[in-house]
Each structure stands twice: as C-alpha cells, then as structure tokens.
Amino acid sequence: MTFFLNNWFLFAAALVSGGLLAWPLLSRRAGADSVTPAGAVNLINRERGVLIDVSEPAEYLAGHAGGAKNVPFGTLETSTDLPKNKSIPLLLMCPTGARAHRAAAILRKRGYEKVSPVAGGVAAWREANLPIERSA
C-alpha cells in the first residue's frame, strides 16, 4: 500500500494513457466508420462507389467534390435521387463531415448496406488536392 501511495502519479499516468489508447475503439459507432478522401477514391474506383453530397444546394454550388451528386440532407428520407442498388458503397460528404455522419444513419435505416461518411468532408477533399467543382 505504501508503494501505491508513494507512486500514485505513475498509476494515474498509466490509467490515463490506457484510456487514451482505448478511446478510439470505444468511441466508434458500429458501422459509422468514416473513410479518408483517399479511401473514398479507392471505393469509387474499385467498387463503383457513389459520392453523395448532402449539403444544401447553395453550399453545393459554392464547391463540391468532383462527380458528387447533390441530395440535400433534409430530403434523404424521401429522395428518389439515390441509387436503386442498396449494396453499392455510398460515400457521404458535406462541407465539414458533421452532417454526413447523421446522413449515414438515415441511409442505413433506408436499407443501404455500405454507407460511409468522408472524414473532414469537402474541406478534407480539397486538402487532399482532389478535384473540386463549382457550379455557376
């Protein structure tokens, strides 16, 4: 007991470091794993993934990933603009990636099997020097 009391800071440091190492595993929501922009490109090229931008139309017009289809977040539950094949990968984007995570949950409820938000959204896509399109 004396050893523990004399070295309490070492035990505290061990607990904190263990918690920090376990945090990513514990904080992941099942099936909501996001992909990097490079991972998204890989899924598009290898598995014919479809890039869906869930931004509002004005945000989409201001700049979106090349080849992305705009399906605004508010229309996801009833949209007929989504692919009919529910087994192909859907890669979801928005300006920062926050809305895309919520959109993934909605699309899973609609029966889409492979739904992944793109981590960091359009901003990360731009940082990765991937094509950005602007509509006039």
What predicted TM-score, i.e. pTM, was given to this entire model?
0.74
The pLDDT score that the predictor gives to residue 23 is 65
DSSP 79: -
Kindly tell me the burial class for residue 65, based on how many C-beta atoms sit within 10 Å of its own C-beta (0-12, 13-18, 19 or more).
Answer: buried
pLDDT surpassing 80 at residue 27:
no
pLDDT surpassing 60 at residue 29:
no
The pLDDT score that the predictor gives to residue 9 is 84
- How much of the chain is in helix, strand and coil states, percent to nearest 5? 45, 15, 40
Domains of the chain: 37-133 (3.40.250.10)
- Chain-centre distance for alpha carbon 5: 45
pLDDT-based confidence at residue 2 (cuts at 50, 70, 90): confident
Per-residue model confidence as pLDDT tens digits over 87-128: 999 999 999 888 999 999 999 999 999 999 999 999 999 999
Cα atoms in the Cβ-side hemisphere of radius 13 Å centred on 85: 8
> What are the tokens at 93?
């984007």
Beta carbons of 123 and 95 less than 8 angstroms apart: yes
Of residues 18 and 90, more confidence is placed in: 90
pLDDT-based confidence at residue 31 (cuts at 50, 70, 90): very low
Per-residue model confidence as pLDDT tens digits over 44-81: 999 999 999 999 999 999 999 999 999 999 999 999 99
